[in-house]
Each structure stands twice: as C-alpha cells, then as structure tokens.
Structure 1
Amino acid sequence: MKRDANIGGSVELLYVLMYETLVGSGLTRCSQELKSVISRRIQRIKEVEHAMQDEGRGIKAMKEADDGMKKIQIPRYARINTLKWTADEAMKTLETEKWKILGTLKPENFAEMVTKMKDDEVYVDPHVENLIIFAPNIQNFYEYWMVEQRYLILQDKASCLPAFLLNPRPGSQVFDTCAAPGMKTSHAAAIMENQGKVWAMDRAADRVATMKQLLDASKVAIASSFCGDFLKTDVTDKKFSKVKFAIVDPPCSGSGIVKRMDEITGGNAEKERLEKLKNLQAMILKHALKLPGLKRAVYSTCSVHEEENEQVVDEVLLDTYVRQNYVLKKNVLPEWTYRGLKTYEVGEHCLRANPKVTLTNGFFVAVFERVKSSE
C-alpha cells in the first residue's frame, strides 16, 4: 500500500489515513486521491482489524484500554504569526472576541492547569515565545478566521522547539535542510523579523509547491524555497557562505505523531527500517555541519525511538570533523525537565517530548554549536 502513487511512499501519511478511517473522524476532508488509497483496500483492512480484534489487539481493545485510564488530551497550540501582527494585537483581538486570557502558565503546574481548560480560555505558553494554548476540543477551530488567514499558525509545541532554540538573529541566514511543509521555516522567519534569508530545501517537488503556498500565506518574505536533495548539495557553494544557522529535521518514522497507531503498526519500530533512517539522519546532520560558516544547528525528529535520536547524536559526535568543530550545547532550556535517555551520555543535554509528560506530540531535539563560536 505504501507504494501507492497517491501517497508518494509516505508511510507516515498512510498511518494517518488508517488512523482517521479506523479511529478518527473519517476522511471527509481528504481529496479523492487520498480517499482512494483506503477505499480500494477497505475490505482487506477490515479483515485484518477483525482478526486482530479476535486476538485482543483491535480498535475496540484500544478504546477499552483508553476508557480504563485517564485519557491524555493534547491542547491546541497556536503560534502567533508575528509577521502579520504583534503579540499584543493578537491578545487584544482575542479578548474582543470573548476569549478569556488567563496569562502565562507556570512550568511546574502546566499539565494540571491545561487539563482543566474550558473551551473559551487561552493561556500563554511558559516555554516558547509567542505560543498560546487553547483547549483540545474546540469545534471547527481550523475554520476560525485567525487560523484560516494564518494570523495564528496551528503548530504542536514540540515542533516549535527547533526554530525557537536555534534563535537566529534578524539579518542572518538559515538553511532548513528538509523543510517542507515549511512550519519551521516560517517560525525561523518570524524570529528573524523577515530580515535575512532562509534557504528552504526539500526533495519532493509537490511538497515544495505546498510549502511555497504556506509561506506566502504566512507573509514570509525571506525564504528561498527550492527542490533538491540536501545530501547532493555542495554546502561549500559561495551562495551558502553566510549561512550561520541550520535546521535539520530529517525524514523519520513519525512515531511521535502516530503514537496511538502502535497497536496496529507494531510500533512502527521495524529494526531494519529504523537502522536505515538512522543512517540517513546521521548523514544529513553531518553534511549540514560542514556548512563553512555554520555556528549553530538544531537536530530534531518527531520520533520516540532512540535509534533516531540519541543514537544519531552519539554517532555524529564520533565523526572526526564534527568532534573537532562542534559540541553538543549543554543546559538547553533548563526549565524543560523531560530530557533524553539517561542510558546515553548525551541524554541530559537533549530534550524529549512525550504526550503523557509534556502534553505534546513525541519529539526529540539536540543543539550543536561550533567550538569557540562568537556571534
């Protein structure tokens, strides 16, 4: 099924379609091409699901397990698009539209307060600048004018961490190596106040086209979006000589996003596939770190697997060039207490996100800095 041309080989997209069909709200909002991926195989999907149900591993069993424990509800995170208005303008407008602004949450009671939110309440996030929090079950929130017109950009909190921690200064240059659909590109541009340049590359032409539309709608004026294979890119090309910052968010298993499909997909943790992803991720990160003027890079995945996270960081730091020129930044976002796995020396210097702990998608972030860099 993953070879179906309509999904372009994207296993993550396939899992999302299956999830929405079997567990979620259906495929009414999807294109006919995406619907056909499932509809042409729906009988076989149901047969497999029924067989799994007989073994106690089907959808019904999953839902019963959910009912037997406190259900985790991730709130809706919205990044104020400061390329269209200021944070003050956003908050004042929300108030005029009868939202109750409750101020900035404290990290220590974050989960407790978020789980008690009412549908008309809004909090300011304590970790990521210009990020606000809405209740999880607001109806038709995608149709709200602030969201439709991209004054507010719906983006999971964990996904905001890479650009936030990269913190590129206005006027600088950034290379987003695997950029589509452009959420991190637009976030970096906002942090840079639309001053400087963001090179936004992706291998898939259709995804680049979608990214350009998203960036235009978000009023990003400094992105150079183009299709290409980053591993085949000459990072020593003169046009990249001023790049000081890089976002490396490479293809991954997506296990942090599709967490609740684990019972059906086997955890999306096939060792052979994870090993291939790990190798690809390490190659992309090492290639990015060879940008001659680079001073800081953020590596991130929406994966929960150590193969794609701590193991990649470990492997890259063993590279002679990397070891001579970069260090893993320590004490990153100290108020974020959920760190990498303690079984790795690098673990305490990395950030992890987990639905049960951080009320976000599963995620991983590590920050590399050039030795003795000075900005």
Structure 2
Amino acid sequence: MVSSKTAATTASCAKRSKEQRLSKADRSSYFARREAAKVLQCVLQGDAKRRAVGSIKSLVYSPSVRNKKATFALVCQTLKHLSIIKDVLDSARILNAKWKRQEGLMYIITYDILFGQEISSYGDAEKFLLLQKDAIQLALARLLVRKKVKRVEDLMALYQIPDVSKPRFVRVNTLKLDVESAFHELGKQNMVQKDDMVPDLLILPPGSDLHDHPLVRNGSVFMQGKASSMVAVALGPEPGWEVLDACSAPGNKTVHLAALMKGKGKIIACELDNERVKRLEDTVRLSGAANIEVLHGDFLNLNPMDPSYSKVRAILLDPSCSGSGTTAERLDHLLPSYAAGDATDVAGTERLNKLAAFQKKALEHALSFPAVEKVVYSTCSIHQIENEDVIKSVLPLAASHGFQLATPFPHWPRRGLPVFEGSEHLLRTDPVEDKEGFFVALFVRKSIARSLEQPIETRKNKKVKSAKRNVTMNYNKSVMPFPFTRLSKLLLHSHLRLQTCKKLNMST
C-alpha cells in the first residue's frame, strides 16, 4: 500500500509537473501583459496630464520592451475597446483600491477576458479577474442592452476608428550603418525606395512590420516620419559644431543631429521631465552617439550669457505642442482625451493659448544666445496660433538680435499661411497630402548671410576660401537667405568694380 505521505508527495509532484507544462506559454502571456500594461499606464497618465512621455509607438519601441509586436497589438486593441472596458468594470464594481492603482493591467486583462485570448490564472491579477469573470460578462450584457445593440460586434462597431494608411518611413542612423547597406538589408523583405529630399530616409510600403527587425533593435535605423526627419536637416549643423536641442525627448531629432554632424562636435540635449529624460537616454544609447550630453533641466532656465553656452552655434527648438498634425501617426485618436471630445477642443482657446505663450517664450529665449547662427523652430501642429502667429510675434525681437527668416527646402511646395510678409519662407506639411502635419521655421543670423556674399578675392588664404565655398554650397542646397538674393549680385559687382579701380590707380 502506498502511504498517505507518499500519495501526497506524488500529488504535489504531479501538480508541479502540470504547472511546469503550462508555465512556458502562460509565463510568456503573463510578461506580455505586464509589458503592455506598463506602456498603457504611461500613455494614460501622459494623456491625463496632457504631457505625454512619448507616443504609443515610441514607448513600444523602447529597448526595455522585448516583445514589441505583441505589446503594440495588445496596447492598441485595449485602447480601441477602452470605453467598453471602463463601462464594464465600473458597472461590475469589482475593483478595490489596490487594483485601481494598477488600472493599466486591469484594462489589459479585462480586454483578454472579453475580446482577446483565453487566459489562465497565472498571476495574482489574472486570478482576481477570472474569479470575477461572471460579473464582468454580466456587466457587458447590460451594456449591450443599454446601447441598444444585440451583438458584441455591433457594440464594437460603435467605437471603431478607421486605420490611417501611410508609407513606413525609416531613417538610417549613419553613425552605425550607411544608407546603401540599409537599403539592401531592408530590401530583402520589403520594397524600398529612397526619399528624394532627406538623404538618409528610406520609404517602405504601408503596414511594413519592422517591430522586431534587427536593424531597428540595434539602432541602425529609426522609424521616423519624413516631416520629423526634415527638421534636423533644415538646421544643417556641421561636424564640430556645438548644438543645443532645447526640448529633446524622446530624442529622434537629437540623434539625427548627431548623425548629420558625423558624431563630431557636441550636442546638449535639454529635457525637463524625469520620465522623458529616461526615454531620451535610451534613444541616445541605442543610436551609439558619443557626442550627446543629456541635460536634465528647463531650457528656459539656461542663461545665454553663461560661458558654458558661449560656443553654441545652432539651436533646435521642437517645443510641446498640440500634436494636432500627427494624431493619426501617434495613434492619439485612441486616447481617452480624444474620445471625450478634447481633440476638437485642442483647437480651442485655452490650451492652445497656453501652448503658444510657452512656444513664443522658448523661441525668444533661443534667439537670445549670442553665438548662435541658426535656430530651427518646429511643431507637429496644424494650428496657425502655434505656427505662423508665433513666428510673426517674434520677428521684431529676431531682427534686433540680427536674425532673419530663411527658406528650408526651397523646392518643397507647401509653405506658410499667407498671414504676414515673408510667410512664404516657412514650411508646412499637410495631414492629408503628406499624412502628417508639421511646421518648420528657420532663422539665420544676418551676418552669416552677408559673409556668403563677399567675393573670393577678399578671403585671406586657401583654407578660408575652401571652407567658405563649402559653406556657401551647403547653405544654398538647403536654404535660401532672405532678402539678400538680389542685393548680393549688386554688392558683388560693385565690390569687383572697386577692386578693379584700385588696381588701375596703383598701376598708373
């Protein structure tokens, strides 16, 4: 006979064996839900404060997230059903204070119970909600009656949001990989084209899945939109320069600056928010850029006269904005604030006025750094109050500091709204035509523009001659100075005539 002790031991071993058989798939799902819950919690907190740490995509692409594809899908699906999930949980009244503090995880698990995959009771949160499964399903049935629909599919259709189809843009991180190699590698699985305006940008078909691609995971390429990639190119920093990125996180533009500078010189990446600093540092590490110094602080508190910034020659200012031009790209249409009607409210007065006031203050501050030669101001907004109105308001101050507007990407067809003289030098992208709405303004120090007009004969030596010729060539490719294009010819010819007269007098 088998003793009771032996029987108990056998039963215990059998239980452990069963748990081990189930554990591989269950543990995988367990950790996937935790990763998704962490991203969702961050997104919801940022949305509630109207200050996001990053977009859904940028948070999912963080190096800390292992299963990016599953996490992205679970976060997006939970957000799409969030209004239903909240109604169900509120109606069921099953969440105590402990579980309410983990709302992200509660939403993720509830989504799986109602609409997703079958889950096991692996994990305390899963055990708790599975015990309440009948109450959750009853609350859903009541919601169907209240919304006057018969099927879950009909209920889901009430909250269905159409997907936005746009090409997948990929910026090659030339600090790690050249464009041709990236083109060849990505071309093994996708149709790839080179962008005609941004040299290191590649275009893939809509829906191209690169979540777990080795080049994305090791930082050789960054998934970055075309308009966003145009900003650093518009600033055009040269290798060896010292550059200040005023509002850096999540850091895509920052590391693009580093690539354009070939890893030489110095970039001061300023960011105020604690969580966004962490995201910025992750991006910098992933890029491999060694010339970026992350500064945890408020850009507005930096003293332009501090010797620490006496060599800063260019500033990229991409301040907090409404994000109205990239709601589809950022998946903002899935957020509670959008569903509650704040998306239309964003165009309204109070929030936009506050944003515009901050944007103006930040731009004025950027223009006050004495050694700065170029300042780029950009937003992902479609609103005039954040774009043309901000630029118009700072023009007198800019002129007093010796700045003038220049034209980034002269061949780009969409320019600023015609609300002031010179607005044609501003750049806009269109949410419909270009699938994202961006705005870019470039200020250039007048003395720099004038230096480009001096004839070669006045330059002191071959080194200076060569350097200035390169500056002129590079400058003319990306920007057109304003309003010196006609005057420069007159100055050039008058100078040459003066030099000729002097030589004739000396010879006689």
The answer to whether TM tops 0.5 is yes
Cα distance in structure 2, aligned partners of 1:87 and 1:316 = 38
1:289 paired residue number:
367
- The number of residues matched between the two structures is 328
Deviation at 1:150?
1.2
Instruction: From the superposition, tell whether residues 347 and 90 of structure 1 become closer, same or farther in structure 2 (CA, over 3 Å).
Output: same
Cα distance in structure 1, aligned partners of 2:269 and 2:53 = 25
Among 253, 262, 265, the alignment partner of 2:342 is 265
Among 440, 443, 453, the alignment partner of 1:368 is 443
What residue ranges of structure 2 are gaps of 5+ in the alignment?
1-40, 57-71, 81-100, 112-135, 137-142, 150-154, 452-470, 472-508
* Aligned-partner residue type, residue 356 of structure 1: V
1:276 paired residue number:
354
Query: In the alignment, does 2:406 pair up with 1:329?
Result: yes
Cα distance in structure 1, aligned partners of 2:103 and 2:216 = 24
Cα distance in structure 1, aligned partners of 2:222 and 2:51 = 22
Cα distance in structure 2, aligned partners of 1:350 and 1:149 = 35
Moved more, 4-13 or 340-349: 4-13
Deviation at 1:324?
4.5
Cα distance in structure 2, aligned partners of 1:59 and 1:314 = 46
Cα distance in structure 2, aligned partners of 1:265 and 1:15 = 19
Instruction: From the superposition, tell whether residues 334 and 62 of structure 1 become closer, same or farther in structure 2 (CA, over 3 Å).
Output: farther
Report 1 or 2 for greater relative contact order, CA contacts < 8 Å, sequence distance ≥ 6.
Answer: 1
Cα distance in structure 1, aligned partners of 2:249 and 2:184 = 32
TM-score (norm 1): 0.77
Deviation at 1:136?
1.3
Q: Secondary structure of the residue that 1:358 maps to in structure 2?
A: coil
2:420 paired residue number:
344
Cα distance in structure 2, aligned partners of 1:14 and 1:146 = 24
Please give the residue correspondences for 1:105-254 in structure 2 after superposition, counting only pairs within 5 Å.
120-139=190-209, 141-254=210-323
Richer in helix (by share): 2
What residue ranges of structure 1 are gaps of 5+ in the alignment?
100-119
Superposed CA deviations along residues 104-155 of structure 1, whole A, max 9, x for unmatched, are xxxxxxxxxxxxxxxx21110011111001111123x111111111111111
Kept in 2, the 8 Å contact 1:176–1:201? The answer is yes
Instruction: From the superposition, tell whether residues 34 and 301 of structure 1 become closer, same or farther in structure 2 (CA, over 3 Å).
Output: farther
Cα distance in structure 2, aligned partners of 1:224 and 1:154 = 23
Query: In the alignment, does 2:431 pair up with 1:355?
Result: yes
Kept in 2, the 8 Å contact 1:74–1:355? The answer is no
1:26 paired residue number:
78
Cα distance in structure 2, aligned partners of 1:27 and 1:277 = 26
Query: In the alignment, does 2:391 pair up with 1:316?
Result: no
Cα distance in structure 1, aligned partners of 2:107 and 2:400 = 47
Kept in 2, the 8 Å contact 1:15–1:258? The answer is no
Cα distance in structure 1, aligned partners of 2:107 and 2:440 = 33
Q: Secondary structure of the residue that 1:245 maps to in structure 2?
A: strand
* Aligned-partner residue type, residue 186 of structure 1: V
Bigger Cα Rg: 2
Q: Secondary structure of the residue that 1:136 maps to in structure 2?
A: coil
TM-score (norm 2): 0.58
1:79 paired residue number:
171
Q: Secondary structure of the residue that 1:217 maps to in structure 2?
A: helix
Kept in 1, the 8 Å contact 2:403–2:443? The answer is yes
Cα distance in structure 2, aligned partners of 1:77 and 1:348 = 27
Q: Secondary structure of the residue that 1:210 maps to in structure 2?
A: helix
Cα distance in structure 1, aligned partners of 2:419 and 2:253 = 30
Richer in strand (by share): 1
